[in-house]
Amino acid sequence: MLLPLLLPVLSALASAVEVKRPRGVSLTNHHFYEESKPFTCLDGSSTIAFEWVNDDYCDCQDGSDEPGTSACPNGRFHCTNAGYRPQYIPSSRVNDGVCDCCDATDEYNSGFVCENTCKEMGRKEREALAQMAEVAREGFQLKQVLIEEASKGREDKQRSLAELQEGKKSLEEQVETLRSVKEAAEKPEKEAKEIHQKKWEEQKAAEKAAREQARASEAFQELDDDGDGLVSVAELQTHVELDVDGDGTLSETEAQTLLGNALQADASSFRDAVWAAIKENYKPEGLPDAAPLPEAPREEAPEPQPDLPLEQPAPEDDYDEEEEEEGDDDESNEEEPKVPPAKQPSDKTAEEDEAEKMPPYDEATQALIDAAQKAREQFEEAEKSLKEMEDSIQYVYRLCPFNRVSQKPKHGGAETNLGTWGSWAGPDENKFSVMKYEHGTGCWQGPNRSTTVKLTCGKETVVTSTTEPSRCEYLMELVTPAACQEPRDPGAADHDEL
Amino acid sequence: MASERLGMAALAWMALCLAAAFAVDRSNFKTCEQSSFCKRQRSVKPGSSPYRALLESLQLSQDSMKLQLVNEVNKVPLLLELYGLQGNMTRIKINELSPLRPRYEVPDVLVHDPPTTWLAVTGRDENSVELSLGDSGHKLILTGKPFRMDLLQGRELVLSVNPRGLLHFEHLRHRKDSFSDKVSSSVGSLWDKIKSLFYREEPKESAPEDGAAGEETEPALPGDQESSEKSTKSEEVSDGPNRAEEELGSWEETFKTHTDSKPNGPTSVGLDFSLPGFEHVYGIPEHADNLRLRTTEGGDPYRLYNLDVFQYELYNPMALYGSVPLLLAHNTQRTLGIFWLNAAETWVDISSNTAGKTLFGKMLDYMQGGGETPQTDVRWMSESGIIDVFLLLGPAPTDVFRQYTALTGTQALPPLFAMAYHQSRWNYNDEEDVAAVDDGFDTHDIPCDVIWLDIEHTDGKRYFTWDPNKFPQPRNMLGRLAAKRRKMVSIVDPHIKVDSGYRVHNEIRSRGFYVKTKDGSDYEGWCWPGSSGYPDFTNPEMRAWWASMFSYDQYEASMENLYVWNDMNEPSVFNGPEVTMYKDALHEGGWEHRDLHNLYGFYVQMATAQGLEQRSGGLERPFVLSRAFFAGSQRYGAVWTGDNAAEWDHLKISIPMCLSLALAGISFCGADVGGFFKSPDAELLVRWYQVGAYQPFYRAHAHLDTVRREPWLFGEENKALIRAAVRQRYALLPYWYTTFYHSYRSGQPVMRPLWVEYPDDVTTFSIDDQFLIGNALLVHPVTEQGAHGVQVYLPGKGEVWYDVHSHQKHHAPQTLYVPVIMSSIPAYQRGGSIVPRKERVRRSSDCMYRDPYTLYVALSPQGTAEGDLFIDDGHTYNFESKAQYLHRHFSFASNTLTARSADSKGVFESPAWIERVVILGAGKPAAVFLRQPGMADTRLDFQHEPETSVLTLRKPGINIGADWSISLR
């Protein structure tokens, strides 16, 4: 006989759940545990007195006699987890001082107090599940679309591949054709522009000469103090600013030199010879000495480029720029023809402004220019598409499904192969959940790089993380609708329709 | 045929080349020939010793004898001190009678001044004195000329000191007869100026000048000795040899690109011992070699010089990370120990008169009437310091362990978790990684107590900090682990990043705690963080400060479940000579690094352990793992065998390496499970988990460049095998803990070579592929690739052993062929022992605290058994300070199993109880009764398996602290 002292209280029977069952037994299994009968281990290996069920001693090899204690190494404990998901935990977690079941039932005799967190967890899980279901549903729909698209796309792609190859060829031809068109268009443009330019310059020179004449006459009038129609040495000497040797005075000899080694000059010789020698330093009378003549320096400054607005960079330049600043080219292309003229000095007289502004092109010239511009744009367009076609896309970090994974340093440098497509490597039940890319660039003193890509269902296809758990072995998380399974509960979808 | 053999040879040669490619670059480390003092010492050949003991100078006090020795060649007098120590030990010290400067004597290693016993002169004649050493019955005969000492017990010669005349004591001297010195002594500072113009980069040249000048101005110095005239003459005579010494690198030595200035000149010491009747010697770790030491004639001596050896080679005498200068000798009659207390670079030569003799040769000797007695000769050579040697006279192995640990301390009792399984890797990348690994152990239901963080967890290798990106919330991470009753270990290395923005560096620098160069500036070397300073751990103030850094408010985010790992504490200096510190670097008190190199790592671990102790107000036991060690390191924690490799030979050598350490007092030893360098295949990894499960320190660790190898990454089958191995470890934790407690109390090793338990069984003397844990378990793990079976030697005449898995009984002695499969870990429980287990394996050892025990009673052929169990809270010093522990004793005799207290001083309440008793080798009883004091007998249910004679008693249900008996009727 065993003394009751040695038997633990079968506290399991005091379980509060409506259905009376030993601690750690699930509802579905409770019929195996009948208080009135001896207990047969679930594997049938032996039969024991019911008092030995949950008595904290392992009698069954399969652990089925101790569902509510930690006595059996291979047993399992059922937590009801009302409000959350019911769950089995290994017997080794019963009374181990760590809260495993959210209903806290696993720690009934360890001295540790666990809180019942099932309600909270249930709420969170429902939220998460709802979200996931939504993702799965949408993802699956997307997947269907993808599949459809893919089968269509496959044909399309094959077709378009041929087309594109054809297209590329024709594009190349087109580029060539357009290049000659452009060159043909540019030739008359250039000629017309040159003519226009030349005319403009001649006109400008004439105007300038006239202006000079006027100023010379004005100066002559001023200098000819005695009004004798001649500028004498003495008269010139009153303008000390004309001092040649920098001693502050205009000596007689200096004045004579300025007058062309003569003692005086008449109006015409002044205009033709003397004015040229003195105009640089000459200050009209009645103006303060310090104030420089606005015209004087400007006359010598480089001529403002009246044709600047129309100056076109060489097509080659255009092309270079495009290479350097991809993405900006549209903008710059648009703006180039509209570059405003260089700002005119504000103190310039209006007439001069008017005079220096080039008149608009005549219609014919403008038409030629427009034609050339159009040809240029077409040419660039064609060049760009050709380039895009030929170029591989630049990236920093890249996964090409079924091809390879690669990595490129952010700040430039050689690309590293993290593996080429190997095989599906998921567990047997879900083989297509993991991709394996192998035989990447070798590591120093290590293996060849390889990448494992884990696929999870999502609304769009995106790589959510990349890590390197051990040297040269990468792990990518790829979210994609392609990984979505048909939602298991069609009721949810029905529910939406209600 | 011939071509085939040629082919084989070519293959073998290729294999050698390949092996060499992975192995250590030997040229980075000195041979004896390249270590000038070793070369000088070794050039002293056996013969008549130039040393004479001046018997008339003998002074005897109650517990010591003092005597002068004089070198007949250079007349430098030495002082010999001899102490009889309690517990059958003798201490011999030899120093200069009046050295120019004090010579280094190793502090802090001895736990206290060893208690002495009386000495008496019991006889003398004109050339010898006979002394009695205390009550041990040992006598010592000291011979004057040539000097030697012979230690006898009765008429039996136990050991001799200086029998081959190899005592060689390089006295401190002034530098002379080098060109610059001669000039400097006559021209003085003028030459200094000229020289500095030419030799700006060699300021070290000036260091010995003081000495040389000193000699000029102190001609009377030799006059302190007895006959100044004679000595001056002999100095002149020995001018020739002195010059030779100069050439041998006495005042300066260059190795590779590193020059060691030697301002103190030659300072080495050497002495030889003979061990008549001994053919087996052990100890002097750390070497990657067999348990039994080999003779070193024709090769290099065993070297003791703590070094960070990259990819070390096996089966050779090269120095490794730690040093314990303790050598044991054993024969069927006696076990002896020689403890050479010197912390400088040390080499040990071992020779034997039987080495090289074939069995036939030995038989011939025997036939011809005995021939020579077998004898082993041992010669110790150290670069500086004094001769301070302890002769541990046994006679039993247990006595030698007691003697040695009486001097240097016993193994600290580790916290229980430290004996459980540790999961490490260089590196767990971030907090998510740690969480995933932690969860992995739960998902795959493998127990694990500790997760480790290597150097990458820090902010730029600044120890005591956390990488702000990878470990932004270390406190949360530690809290998560704590919720699962798990721990964490973070690395704290002794090299400190030179960075004015780093508080630790600034404090050490401002307090002047860094090791200094010979010129007095802070020494800087290259290590993980780049330029690094090395705190002077020999300075007690530095150690106190370092310890304070581990308080919870100093070490950011540290918590109770964070423990520490000291790596690189040889110290490792990437750009230093032999990957360590310059020998002329200066420590507290002006000592050169040369004097104390082998102590550095010991002090690092000491200070760290003190820190962990102090942070809990002295309540909690620390856990600190160290790579470098010295005699006495056992007091501060665990050590491991450093950077091994994922190779079968490395797995195999982990056994003799840890056994050698255990013999030298350091029981808490392990090797990186899986191998540090390279990646193991599944078979090697599984086997390594199996071996590690039965070694004291059980940690998986891996290099940064290896592929991940958490136990679940090798398929279900291998995972199950690893899980089974780890669970075996956890089930045996009560036994490990009790065995560690014994080691702590009595100094007996935890992991033992067979000969320790079977000292008169010669077969066991060279066995190092199997071992004992405590005295009850014998393990012969599989360490061969593709093994189908192992040859297990079961020792003990008239004993029996039980297979711990099948419970099958085997008679001993015998060599048993045991077939193995991948799950096999051949292990045997000794008949006559009782081993406690906890068979409910949890996710961590802490979770097993309340769990019940199963007692495995393995009956001897006489039907008896004995065993014990130590229990306390598992982590505090209360067992010591408050006697809060239970030490239970179990014995089985006359069909009755009795439980009583083994130590009535201990009082402790444990919730644990006894769930099962398994009696191996028992017949089927009619009934089984449990008896408790003051209660009626209770009948117990039981099961008996007749094929294996296993009797399982069901659920006695008694609290582990109770007294009871169970009788089989």
Task: Indicate the DSSP class of residue B233.
Answer: H
Q: Output b/e per residue, B417-437; b: 16+ Cβ within 10 A.
A: bbbbbbbbbbbbbbbebbbeb
H-state helical runs in A224-284: 233-237, 252-258, 267-269, 275-278
Task: Indicate the DSSP class of residue B959.
Answer: B
| Percent of chain A as helix, strand, coil, to the nearest 5 | 45, 15, 40
- Angle formed by the axes of helices A118-223 and A490-497, to 10°? 60
Whether residue A451 lies within 8 A of chain B, CB to CB, comes out as: no
Contacts of A93 in chain B (CB under 8 A): 842-843
Please name which of B721, B797, B795, B745 lies closest in space to residue B765, comparing C-alpha atoms.
Answer: B795
Whether residue A3 lies within 8 A of chain B, CB to CB, comes out as: yes
**A316: closest CA of chain B, how far (Å):** 48
A:162-221 residues touching chain B, CB 8 A cutoff: none
Q: Left (φ > 0), alpha (ψ -120 to 50) or beta: where does A260 sit?
A: left
Residues A268-299 pLDDT 10s:
777 777 777 777 777 766 554 444 444 444 44
Flag residues of chain A having pLDDT under 50.
Answer: 1-17, 288-352, 392-395, 490-498
- Cα–Cα distance measured from residue A251 to residue A236, given in angstroms and rounded to the nearest whole number: 10
Element (H, E) at B942: strand B941-945
- Cα–Cα distance measured from residue B749 to residue A23, given in angstroms and rounded to the nearest whole number: 46
- Cα–Cα distance measured from residue B416 to residue B391, given in angstroms and rounded to the nearest whole number: 35
- Cα–Cα distance measured from residue B278 to residue B818, given in angstroms and rounded to the nearest whole number: 33
Count CA within 13 A, CB hemisphere, residue A122: 15
Please name which of A468, A288, A236, A149 lies closest in space to residue B708, comparing C-alpha atoms.
Answer: A468
In the numeric block, which tokens belong to residue B866?
Answer: 């004995």
Flag residues of chain B having pLDDT under 50.
Answer: 1-21, 179-243, 245
Please name which of B602, B625, B528 lies closest in space to residue B324, comparing C-alpha atoms.
Answer: B602
* Cβ contact, residue pair B429, A55, below 8 Å: no
Whether residue A115 lies within 8 A of chain B, CB to CB, comes out as: no
Sign of CA dihedral B176, B180, B184, B186: positive
B:703-722 residues touching chain A, CB 8 A cutoff: 704-708
Q: Report the residue from A92, A110, A447 with minimal CB separation from B850.
A: A110
* Cβ contact, residue pair A73, B483, below 8 Å: no
Whether residue A108 lies within 8 A of chain B, CB to CB, comes out as: no
Tell me which amino acid residue B519 is: D
| Residue A72: closest C-alpha in chain B | B840
Q: Which of B705, B723, B917, B939 to mutate to test the interface with A (most CBs of A within 10 A)?
A: B705
- Cα–Cα distance measured from residue B746 to residue B752, given in angstroms and rounded to the nearest whole number: 14
* Cβ contact, residue pair B708, A469, below 8 Å: yes
**A428: closest CA of chain B, how far (Å):** 13
Tell me which amino acid residue B607 is: A
* Cβ contact, residue pair A469, B433, below 8 Å: yes
- Cα–Cα distance measured from residue B118 to residue B135, given in angstroms and rounded to the nearest whole number: 8
Neighbours of A349 (CB within 10 A): 10
In the numeric block, which tokens belong to residue A268?
Answer: 């015409």
Q: Report the residue from B429, B445, B483 with minimal CB separation from A98.
A: B483
H-state helical runs in A73-223: 118-223
Q: Exposed/middle/buried for B144, CB within 10 Å: 0-12, 13-18, 19+?
A: buried
B:422-451 residues touching chain A, CB 8 A cutoff: 429, 433, 445
H-state helical runs in B618-759: 648-663, 682-692, 715-731, 733-746, 754-757
| Residue A450: closest C-alpha in chain B | B707
- Cα–Cα distance measured from residue B675 to residue B669, given in angstroms and rounded to the nearest whole number: 15
Q: Report the residue from A90, A98, A110 with minimal CB separation from B445.
A: A90
Count CA within 13 A, CB hemisphere, residue B935: 17
- B566: Cβ contacts below 8 Å, ≥ 6 apart: B491, B492, B493, B494, B601, B604, B605, B608, B624, B625, B626, B627
B:109-168 residues touching chain A, CB 8 A cutoff: none
Q: Are strands B128-133 and B119-125 parallel, antiparallel or unpaired?
A: antiparallel
Task: Indicate the DSSP class of residue A447.
Answer: -
Q: What is the DSSP string of B407-461?
A: HH-PPP---GGGGSEEE--TT--SHHHHHHHHHHHHHTT----EEEE-GGGSBTT
Q: Kindly report the CA angle at A360 between A356 and A364, in degrees rounded to 5? A: 145
Contacts of B941 in chain A (CB under 8 A): 2
A263: helix, coil or strand?
coil
Domains in chain B (CATH in brackets) are: 43-278+346-382 (no CATH), 416-492+541-570+596-756 (3.20.20.80), 827-968 (2.60.40.1180)
Question: Rounded to whole angstroms, what are the CA distances from B671 to A228, A382, B594, B656, B767?
Answer: 121, 68, 29, 11, 19
Contacts of B915 in chain A (CB under 8 A): 56-57, 71
**A43: closest CA of chain B, how far (Å):** 19
Is this structure's pTM higher than 0.90? no
Phi, psi (rounded to 5 degrees) for B862: -85, 0
Whether the CB-CB separation of B623 and B637 falls below 8 Å is answered with yes
* Cβ contact, residue pair B954, A110, below 8 Å: no
* Cβ contact, residue pair A71, B483, below 8 Å: no
What is the rounded (10 degree) CA torsion for B35, B41, B44, B50?
A: 150
In the numeric block, which tokens belong to residue B651?
Answer: 């797995």
| Residue B724: closest C-alpha in chain A | A73
Q: Report the residue from A2, A92, A467 with minimal CB separation from B843.
A: A92
**B634: closest CA of chain A, how far (Å):** 32
Q: Exposed/middle/buried for B547, CB within 10 Å: 0-12, 13-18, 19+?
A: buried
| Residue B840: closest C-alpha in chain A | A73
**B718: closest CA of chain A, how far (Å):** 16
Please name which of B886, B953, B942 lies closest in space to residue B915, comparing C-alpha atoms.
Answer: B953
Question: Rounded to whole angstroms, what are the CA distances from B290 to A383, B653, B763?
Answer: 75, 7, 16
Q: What is the DSSP string of A396-423?
A: SEEEETTTEEEE--TTS---EEEEEEEE
* Cβ contact, residue pair B842, A96, below 8 Å: yes
Rounded to a whole number of angstroms, the CA Rg of chain B reads 30
Task: Indicate the DSSP class of residue B197.
Answer: H
Rounded to a whole number of angstroms, the CA Rg of chain A reads 48
Sign of CA dihedral A231, A234, A239, A241: positive
Contacts of A97 in chain B (CB under 8 A): 485, 846-847, 849
B:788-847 residues touching chain A, CB 8 A cutoff: 839-843, 846-847
H-state helical runs in B141-188: 179-187
**Model pLDDT, residue A363:** 77
* Cβ contact, residue pair B707, A471, below 8 Å: yes
Contacts of B429 in chain A (CB under 8 A): 467-469
| Residue A445: closest C-alpha in chain B | B705
* Cβ contact, residue pair B708, A97, below 8 Å: no
**A96: closest CA of chain B, how far (Å):** 5
Name the residues of B annotated as catalytic.
Answer: 567, 643
**Model pLDDT, residue B358:** 55
**B70: closest CA of chain A, how far (Å):** 58
Mind spelling out the 3-state secondary structure of B768-815?
CCCEEECCCEEECCCCCCCCCEEEEEECCCCCEEEECCCCCEEECCEE
| Residue A427: closest C-alpha in chain B | B715
- Angle formed by the axes of helices B648-663 and B682-692, to 10°? 10
- Cα–Cα distance measured from residue B707 to residue B710, given in angstroms and rounded to the nearest whole number: 10
Whether residue A55 lies within 8 A of chain B, CB to CB, comes out as: yes
- Cα–Cα distance measured from residue B384 to residue B172, given in angstroms and rounded to the nearest whole number: 10
ipTM: 0.86
Whether residue A161 lies within 8 A of chain B, CB to CB, comes out as: no
Whether residue A392 lies within 8 A of chain B, CB to CB, comes out as: no
B29: helix, coil or strand?
coil
Q: CB pairs below 8 Å between A and B: how many?
A: 71
**A45: closest CA of chain B, how far (Å):** 15
* Cβ contact, residue pair A70, B840, below 8 Å: yes
- Cα–Cα distance measured from residue B505 to residue B502, given in angstroms and rounded to the nearest whole number: 5
* Cβ contact, residue pair B915, A57, below 8 Å: yes
Q: What is the DSSP string of A188-221?
A: HHHHHHHHHHHHHHHHHHHHHHHHHHHHHHHHHH
**Model pLDDT, residue B369:** 53
A:429-448 residues touching chain B, CB 8 A cutoff: 443, 445-447
**Model pLDDT, residue A389:** 59
| Residue B953: closest C-alpha in chain A | A57
B858: helix, coil or strand?
strand
**A467: closest CA of chain B, how far (Å):** 10
